[in-house]
Chain A
Amino acid sequence: MADLSIEFAGIKSPNPFWLASAPPANSGEQVMRAFDAGWGGAVWKTLGDPIMNVTSRFGGVDYDGRKLMGLNNIELITDRPLETNLREIREVKKRYPKNVVIASLMTETKNDWKVLIRKCEDAGVDGLELNFGCPHGMCERGMGSSVGQEPKLLQEITSWVKEFAKTPVLVKLTPNTGDIVEAGTAAVAGKADGIALINTIKSIVGVDLDRLVPLPRVGKASTNGGYCGPAVKPIALHMVAALAREPGMIPISGIGGIATWRDAAEFIALGATSVQVCTAVMHYGYRIVRDMIDGLSEYLDAQGMKSVNELRGRAVGGYQEWGDLDLSYKLVASIDAKSCIGCQLCVTACHDGAHQCIFTGADDRPRPPHAHAHGPAKAPKPLPLGAIAGDRVPWIDEPECVGCNLCQLVCPVPGCISMVEVPNGKSETWNDRVKQGRDKLPGGIHEDA
């Protein structure tokens, strides 16, 4: 079994799986149950001056019968007295010395930061996370994402904290910013020891169409909230990867839509050292970590990696600028007639949403006017006849297929449509063409200029 332990800016954790600062890490009783279930660490629900919350607080996005594709919340930081939280942190660290407890913090004045940091470190936390990300409620008061969106302010407050802190300091970033790299480099400049991202995305989760009030409804009104859960993972992955590519980057704790070991492995491969989870635990409970631990080590074993540290950043180099991608790399779609069920979703998707090159029936078809190739599309002889779908199996006009893979994405049968490489021995990027002055293609505006 692969070694899952990590060291994050000097903080040792039995595994990379941490609870994100959120309701699952609200109290000592919860955090201890989470550690019993297998979580390596927890970032405590953000501490500061206690606040008041509203009801309702959450809104969910369901998709085709699956609940909570996305979760939206308008909850604020902890609503419990600071001393209660500190007492429980102390208790947790005493009982679970090997697990990581990080205090998430949010406050205003330099002196408040000083007091808060001292109290938390006295309680025995392993590190501090600065919540510069909350996009609702706190930002209007000059905290949370209003800090995360101002690189100068972010850097300044980070350096205050670093003046006082004895433990490692993570800065938690908001995705509600034009350029995440700017925010990340500001944290580095403020001497942070690590970065955590993403916090939630500013959102309105829906509208109550009977009352015509946005959701979640608080009496007669609502307000914007923060969006998280499976739907935000691609956004989070992109932001983690963008920071991981920066030279001189500090350790990253990846957050956003993580629900399984696979999600975690993707974040780690794109540069994260630890990962944090909120929505998936709110949905299914602490127990999900068992599969995360087990699945990740199985995967590492299968890859011949002895430790999770070997996976870290392994996909970072696989990212290139669009201009450096190989324009000559060609794929065409191919349908496995045996497993096709004849739903013809690929046909509609290709005709209405792609390049009009999947057909049914035996006749040769006139190509639509935009066609890259000339003449009618020729039905293959013999036509594919499926074991399940018979003559409902569609066929692909290969010269016309642009290899976009929409059909593969809509096909409900796993493995039925594959994208097959058509080797041509060539290799050329857009940037090559730009260098050679071949970046003007026929049919462009430049011809009239």
Chain B
Amino acid sequence: MTLEKLPEDRLENELADKKPLYSEAEAKAEADRCLYCSDAPCIKACPTEIDIPTFIKKIASGNVRGSARTIFEQNLLGHSCARVCPVEVLCQGDCVYTGWGRDPIQIGRLQRFATETATRAGQAPVLAKKVDVAVAKKRVACIGGGPASLAFAGYLALEGHEAVVFEKRGYAGGLNTTGIAPYKLHAHDALHEVAWVEGLGVEVTTGVEVGADDGPGRISGKKLLETYDAVFIGVGLGADSKLGIPGEDGPGVYGATEWIERMKLEMTKAHREEVAGKRVLVVGGGNTAIDVARECALLGAAEVSMCYRRGVPEMSGYAHEMSGGRKEGVRLVGHVQPVAFVRDAGGKLTALRVAKTDANAKPIAGTEHEIPCDLVALAIGQSKLSGIAAALPGVELDKRGCVVVADTATCVTGNPKVFAGGDCINGGKEVVNAVADGRNAARALLARWAGK
């Protein structure tokens, strides 16, 4: 396992949970508030359709292990989802209390309580592996160790099949480990969940990249297709997009996910000054942008501004994240377009040169000015990992570069042996969507093997 490799005094640990684990009494009190709706709207708003009223009532009755089972049945990564899901726009957004103008049931926090309590170390496993599989034992391989692959592999392992996950990074867990805002989920908790999935019988191999050829730390798509009965693509998205303007390469300018990954896994307290007291500019208006902005603000940046080429109202970050960020001191700047990075003689970043933009987000001539800054994070999107399609015959990409699947109910690609899910098919949604895809692919495969 790789958990031990993580430095203890990581900077991300300075950001405490915004929604800490409920105590038993808190969980019971909140669970008792749930109305136990019939045909409950919250279920329909969960991409994995967890039977929410059932798991909540099980908490209320003191059947926490049963509650966790209800969650895991539909969502194997119910623990990280509980902590990272934008519940305000998913389950809790559709809780009948929300429409009624009252506080919705804190579904995410209850889900965390159930999953975390039931899987605590030293307890009997909540999920039993089915050893007497009706069909011969099959072998599957997953490309990428993120939520989509873990869900796929985990559900198949529970049915008694052999599931192997190949992850190119040193840590599995995908963006749960490397990208989620620490006040929702810290890297070590993401890795604990990976270890829990391994405990279900999944084999996770880190430091192995799947691509065109074989070699040390490399394995080819061809080899996978030869060795395994099915292959799942869960590679997520690629590197942060760049602006392509002068001065971009050099110290002080980072891709947002690149910076977050460093902050979560590598930066320690000794690196605090890299952000504390500094002037930070985030380019972009989406959820990655607001995440990195909030993280910098909470880590003590002197100023944090988000710059977007359209107006502030058009910033696509969730309203609850934007208002949270503003309370933490994040400034929102609309209608500016970066033109160049300004550096001093020593190459040190001093400012971002921007132009104002018009209603159509087009730069207006003569409006250029400098915004002083020490650190810039680019959150203008991520590239697609299109190489993987080339390595697997029959797998196609759409215009956006996403892997094409027949539908999300099966997640099967143009090659019937190959399935795909998560960010690499949808262009970047949530963890819970990735889990839904992985689970659906596993179910489709199981149905196929069962001859249904």
Contact = CB atoms under 8 A, between A and B. Distances in A.
A408 to B, nearest CB: 15
Interface of A: 64-65, 341-345, 347-348, 360, 388-389, 392, 412-413
A190 to B, nearest CB: 48
B95 to A, nearest CB: 10
Given A347-B38, A347-B39, A392-B41, A341 B96 contact: yes
Interface stretch (B27-35, B63-71, B308-316, B411-419): B27-35
7 contacts: A64-B32, A64-B60, A341-B100, A344-B38, A345-B37, A389-B96, A412-B35
A342 B35 contact: no
Interface of B: 28-29, 32-33, 35-41, 60, 96-97, 99-100
B96 A342 contact: yes
A347 B37 CA distance: 10
A360 B40 CA distance: 13
A353 to B, nearest CB: 12
Contact of A345 (B32, B35, B97): B35
Contacts of B60: 64
Contacts of B33: 65
Closest 8 CB pairs of A and B: A65-B32, A348-B38, A344-B38, A343-B37, A388-B99, A341-B96, A341-B100, A64-B32
A341 B99 contact: yes
A43 B256 CA distance: 74
Contact of B29 (A65, A347, A360): A65
B321 to A, nearest CB: 26
A360 B33 CA distance: 24
A412 B41 CA distance: 16
A344 B39 contact: yes
A343 B38 contact: yes
A346 to B, nearest CB: 8
A389 B99 contact: yes
Contacts of A413: 100
Nearest to B25: A65
Main secondary structure of the interface of A (DSSP, over half): loop
Contact of A360 (B28, B39, B96, B100): B39
Nearest to B29: A65
A16 B143 CA distance: 78
A48 B100 CA distance: 57
Contacts of B99: 341-342, 388-389
A345 B38 CA distance: 5
Given A343-B38, A344-B37, A347-B39, 9 more contacts: A65-B29, A341-B97, A342-B41, A342-B96, A343-B40, A345-B36, A345-B38, A360-B39, A413-B100
Nearest to A349: B38
B47 to A, nearest CB: 20
Contacts of B29: 65
A413 B35 CA distance: 11
Contacts of B38: 343-345, 347-348
A135 to B, nearest CB: 30
A389 B35 CA distance: 15
Nearest to A392: B41
Nearest to A386: B99
A29 B436 CA distance: 66
Nearest to B99: A388
A417 B24 CA distance: 35
A413 B36 CA distance: 14
Contacts of B32: 64-65
A343 B28 contact: no
Nearest to A66: B32
A392 B97 CA distance: 14
Nearest to A345: B38
A360 B28 CA distance: 31
A341, A388, A392, most chain B CB atoms within 10 A: A341
A65 B32 CA distance: 6
A65 B28 CA distance: 7
